[in-house]
Amino acid sequence: MTKKVVRKPSLQEVELYTYLGSNVDKEGETEVRIRIWKAQRTFIELGNLWKSQRTFIELGN
């Protein structure tokens, strides 16, 4: 069996990066803050729907 040496990639330190849709930082707080912000924004956008007396939800049989 022959050993092969692969060059090590150079790494760069960054403050924040996005990987598979998740925002990653050193502390891990950014992802949590972004998820909370997205949830708040969605709740506000749906506010009129929640308050509407014309909206009916059928929950099955």
* Boundaries of every domain in the chain: 17-51
Strands (E), 1-61: 16-19, 22-25
Q: Which residues pair with 17 in a beta bridge?
A: 24
pLDDT along the chain (61 residues), means of 10: 75 81 79 89 87 77 66
pLDDT attached to residue 61: 66
φ/ψ region of 10 (left if φ > 0, alpha if ψ in -120 to 50, else beta) reads: beta
pTM of the model: 0.49
56: its two tokens: 């009916």
